[in-house]
Amino acid sequence: EVWQIRLDLHLLNHDGNIVDAASIAGIVALCHFRRPDVSVQGEEVTVYTPEERDPVPLSIHHMPICVSFAFFQQGTYLLVDPSEREERVMDGVLVIAMNKHQEICTIQSSGGIMLVKDQVLRCSKITGVKVAEMTELIQKALENDQKARKEGGKFGFAESIPNQKITAFKMESAAVDTNNLEEQAEEIITKAEPPAEVFTNPILHTPGTAQIGEGIENSWGELEESEREEVVEEEDESEAAGFEDQKMETEETKSTMEKSKDEPIVLSDSEEEEVVILEPQEPPKRTR
């Protein structure tokens, strides 16, 4: 029995040089991964859950990282880590993967560019420098994450995204063309259909009541049903979002407002007016 590990890479935004980004993401994910601990006694294999024993990291021998070089004008210009715009106009790309022990893991030249031996050697030296920097950065990031988990701080993808608060709602005033307004209005009126024929004969049922025309079908029955559906939907959503409290509050305020129409409505001191924001649930603390 062996473990099988699967690495899925998703590209969210392409702004050039996917290869480098993907290689860093892949190797960091593998270094960050922890698998359940196992003990083997003869033929018996026991797999421990994360609660019983701390999960174990994979044994990573080395961290290969890719660096891409874009060539322009038949090798006159060389750019490291090309952006999307640069990739569109480049002649070709040379990718060199290296680890921090200065071992080249792979070289691939593509795009039909013509290289000279010295260019290749120069690129490999530049790669050595870049990879050393990158490996240091990765080590630091992994250490920070491990520290944060141990101390019980916040970690994970959601936490790494900064909160963006909307503090003001501003709408630019839109200009409306009021030239020739009268002419436009005239046009609309003349183009519109003439009103339907007027029924000139009212039908008298009883003194004081008269019926003019037939009238359309009563659609109030349908309206009631759809309203009921809407309310049910809202309730389902609100259970998750915690809006139920707020909704009940607003309903109560409405009812209080109706009762006390004679009195001046004071909203600021009412308890129901207090808006309560429910904190998202804290994730269970995991010790590593």
Interface residues toward other proteins, by CB under 8 A: 92, 94, 98-99, 101-117, 120-121, 124-125, 128
Query: Least distance (Å) from other proteins to the CB of residue 67?
Result: 12
Listed in order, strand segments (DSSP E) in 166-247 are: 203-204, 210-211
* CB within 8 Å of 46: residues ≥ 6 apart: 38, 39, 40
Query: Least distance (Å) from other proteins to the CB of residue 27?
Result: 15
Q: Select 116 or 277, whichever has its Cβ closest to other proteins.
A: 116
83 is written with which tokens? Answer: 């952006």
Q: How far is CA 207 from CA 93, 152, 202, 210, 211, in A?
A: 94, 83, 12, 8, 11
Q: Select 124 or 253, whichever has its Cβ closest to other proteins.
A: 124
The length of the chain is: 288
Q: Select 17 or 109, whichever has its Cβ closest to other proteins.
A: 109
DSSP calls for 26-56: HHHHHHH-EE--EEEETTEEEEPPTTTS--E
Q: Select 116 or 161, whichever has its Cβ closest to other proteins.
A: 116
111 is written with which tokens? Answer: 């795009």
DSSP 272: G
Query: Least distance (Å) from other proteins to the CB of residue 114?
Result: 4
Query: Least distance (Å) from other proteins to the CB of residue 283?
Result: 40
Query: Least distance (Å) from other proteins to the CB of residue 276?
Result: 56
Tally Cβ neighbours within 10 Å of residue 145.
Answer: 17
Query: Least distance (Å) from other proteins to the CB of residue 133?
Result: 16
Q: Select 97 or 249, whichever has its Cβ closest to other proteins.
A: 97
For residue 98, what are the β-bridge partners? 65, 104
Q: Select 121 or 198, whichever has its Cβ closest to other proteins.
A: 121
